[in-house]
């Protein structure tokens, strides 16, 4: 049985849906907060609730006793912890929300996972942990000690807390460093959704860093497939791990960090061209300087992911954007 936190969110919903289709029993938790349109979260949740093997609880993970109740009620095997305050730019305005959910909330879930002997604890990290490093592609062993905003700092903290639990309590943990996930049911605060909505309404889109951003976009179907594959591959102690040359992707204990990105960055202006092509409409663009805390480029080394799962995010942006716009046209009609 899986517990998925953030089940009404974009990635959580997509993962739950796949698990439910595979007839797995899924416990979903989410506080359905108003960071973005609650209607979208409720709509996702309604779809999940139509499965009889889905059990939803509206709880705030900041509240430890609520989290504990869930773990006591169900016999959970695996946890996929995705509930978080996401968003890089928002974290500059509201840092305390990130400390509350991403640090305290994360602690409540991992602590309960330890006490209930969870077989595999997976959690969302992010490409943002690499900060502004320029040694592309980012490897799991690249430094992640220079976060450029509090969002990245909280996610990196999660990885460090996870290591301490894997070390002390032998809790098998896997941190998934997601690289810009997009696709149907995607988040309205993310660039793709905003670009498509505004271009459709003939509104000007804002493009930061004068369009000189590169992102390693990962399509949601790849992310779902790979996350579930990883959930069946529990990390083990790495007996070859060398304390003289510590590699940060694994450890002497059952701990692992994996990039989920395709090593295929695309320039933002090229990404916009693909949107224009699918919409058959020209974008009105306002070019702006780089925003505080933004990364200029992300690029994942996908070798470790491929070693573990025999695959990595491969779906091309032209296909993914087309699928996203089909969904957008249908959902917002
Ligand atoms: N989408 C991406 O490109 C991306 C990239 C890197 C990392 N991530 C991480 O992946 C995870 C999922 O991201 P997403 O894009 O699906 O985001 P999302 O915002 O759509 O989903 C997060 C869900 O968590 C819930 N939540 C937030 N705070 C909560 C709390 N205190 N208690 C209970 N529920 C709470 C929200 O209501 C939301 O439904 C997050 O941890 C995010 O930081 C996402």
Q: What three-state secondary structure class fits 255?
A: strand
Nearest to 299 by CA among 126, 179, 189: 179
pLDDT of residue 89: 86
Is residue 269 classed exposed, middle or buried when 0-12, 13-18 and 19+ CB atoms within 10 A define those classes?
middle
Q: Token pair 């894997």 is at which residue?
A: 166
pLDDT of residue 15: 98
Residues with catalytic annotation?
151
The residue whose CA is least distant from atom 15 of ligand 1 is 10
pLDDT at 267 over 90: yes
- Could you give the residue ranges of the DSSP H alpha helices within the chain? 10-21, 38-49, 64-73, 90-93, 95-98, 106-115, 150-169, 191-200, 220-231, 268-279, 303-309, 317-331
Residue % of the chain over a pLDDT of 70: 100
Pocket, ligand 1, Cβ cutoff 6 A: 6, 8-12, 30-33, 41, 60-62, 82-86, 101, 105, 124, 126, 178, 180-181, 187
Ligand 1 centroid to Cα of residue 84, in Å, is 4
Could you report the per-residue pLDDT of 193-238, keeping only the tens digit for each? 999 999 999 999 999 999 999 999 999 999 999 999 999 999 999 9
Could you report the per-residue pLDDT of 137-179, keeping only the tens digit for each? 999 999 999 999 999 999 999 999 999 999 999 999 999 999 9
CA Rg value for the chain: 19
Residue 184 to residue 328: CA distance in whole angstroms: 7
Nearest to 11 by CA among 291, 233, 313, 332: 313
pLDDT of residue 76: 98
Ligand 1 centroid to Cα of residue 203, in Å, is 27
Report the predicted TM-score, pTM, of the whole model to 2 decimal places.
0.98
Residue % of the chain over a pLDDT of 90: 99
What does the block give as tokens for 86?
């996401």
pLDDT of residue 287: 96
Average pLDDT over residues 264-273: 97
How many helices (H) and strands (E) the chain has is answered by 12, 13
pLDDT at 26 over 90: yes
Query: Per DSSP, what are the bridge partners of residue 205?
Result: 285
How many CB atoms are closer than 10 A to CB 289?
Answer: 8
pLDDT of residue 255: 98
CATH of domain 2-182+218-262+300-314: 3.40.50.720
Task: Ligand 1, residue 14: give the atom nearest the CA.
Answer: 16
Ligand 1 centroid to Cα of residue 101, in Å, is 10
Task: Ligand 1, residue 86: give the atom nearest the CA.
Answer: 43
Could you report the per-residue pLDDT of 97-151, keeping only the tens digit for each? 999 999 999 999 999 999 999 999 999 999 999 999 999 999 999 999 999 999 9
Give residue limits of the domains in the chain. 2-182+218-262+300-314
pLDDT of residue 18: 98
Ligand 1 centroid to Cα of residue 83, in Å, is 5
Question: Which residues make Cβ contacts (< 8 Å) with residue 96, sequence separation at least 6?
Answer: none
The residue whose CA is least distant from atom 20 of ligand 1 is 9
Ligand 1 pocket mutation pick from 37, 80, 86, 106 by most atoms within 8 angstroms of CB: 86
Could you report the per-residue pLDDT of 70-91, keeping only the tens digit for each? 999 999 999 999 999 999 889 9
Ligand 1 centroid to Cα of residue 247, in Å, is 28
Residue 205 to residue 198: CA distance in whole angstroms: 6
The residue whose CA is least distant from atom 43 of ligand 1 is 86
Task: Ligand 1, residue 36: give the atom nearest the CA.
Answer: 19
What does the block give as tokens for 269?
């202006």
pLDDT averaged over every residue in the chain: 97
Q: How far is CA 229 from the centre of its chain?
A: 16
Task: Ligand 1, residue 151: give the atom nearest the CA.
Answer: 43
Pairing of strands 214-215, 266-267: antiparallel
Largest CA distance in the chain: 59
């Amino acid at each position: 049985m899986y517990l998925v936190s953030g089940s009404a969110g974009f990635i959580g919903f997509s993962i739950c849906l796949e698990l439910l289709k595979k007839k797995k029993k899924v416990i979903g938790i989410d506080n359905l907060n108003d960071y973005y349109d609650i209607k979208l979260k409720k709509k996702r949740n309604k779809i999940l609730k139509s499965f009889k093997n889905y059990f939803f609880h509206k709880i705030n993970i900041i509240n430890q006793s609520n989290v504990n109740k869930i773990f006591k009620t169900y016999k959970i095997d695996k946890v996929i912890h995705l509930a978080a305050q996401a968003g890089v730019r928002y974290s500059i305005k509201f840092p305390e929300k990130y400390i509350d959910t991403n640090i305290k909330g994360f602690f409540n879930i991992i602590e309960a996972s330890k006490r209930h002997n969870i077989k595999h604890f997976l959690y969302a990290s992010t490409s943002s942990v690499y900060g502004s490093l320029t040694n592309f592609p980012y490897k799991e062993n690249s430094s992640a000690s220079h976060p450029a905003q509090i969002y990245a700092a909280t996610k990196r903290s999660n990885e460090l807390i996870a290591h301490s639990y894997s070390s002390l309590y032998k809790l098998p943990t896997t941190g998934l460093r997601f690289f810009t996930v997009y696709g149907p049911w995607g988040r309205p605060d993310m660039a793709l959704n905003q670009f498509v909505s505004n271009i459709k309404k003939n509104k000007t889109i804002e493009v930061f860093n004068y369009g000189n951003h590169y992102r390693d976009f990962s399509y949601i179907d790849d992310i779902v497939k790979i996350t579930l594959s990883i959930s069946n591959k529990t990390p083990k102690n790495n007996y070859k791990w060398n304390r003289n040359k510590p590699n940060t992707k694994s450890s002497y204990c059952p701990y692992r960090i994996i990039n989920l990105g395709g090593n295929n960055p695309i320039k933002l202006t090229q990404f916009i061209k693909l949107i224009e092509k699918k919409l058959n409409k020209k974008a009105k663009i306002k070019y702006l300087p780089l925003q505080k805390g933004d990364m200029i480029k992300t690029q994942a080394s996908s070798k470790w992911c491929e070693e573990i799962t025999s695959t990595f995010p491969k779906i091309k942006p032209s296909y993914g954007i087309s699928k996203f716009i089909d969904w957008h046209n249908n959902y917002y009609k």
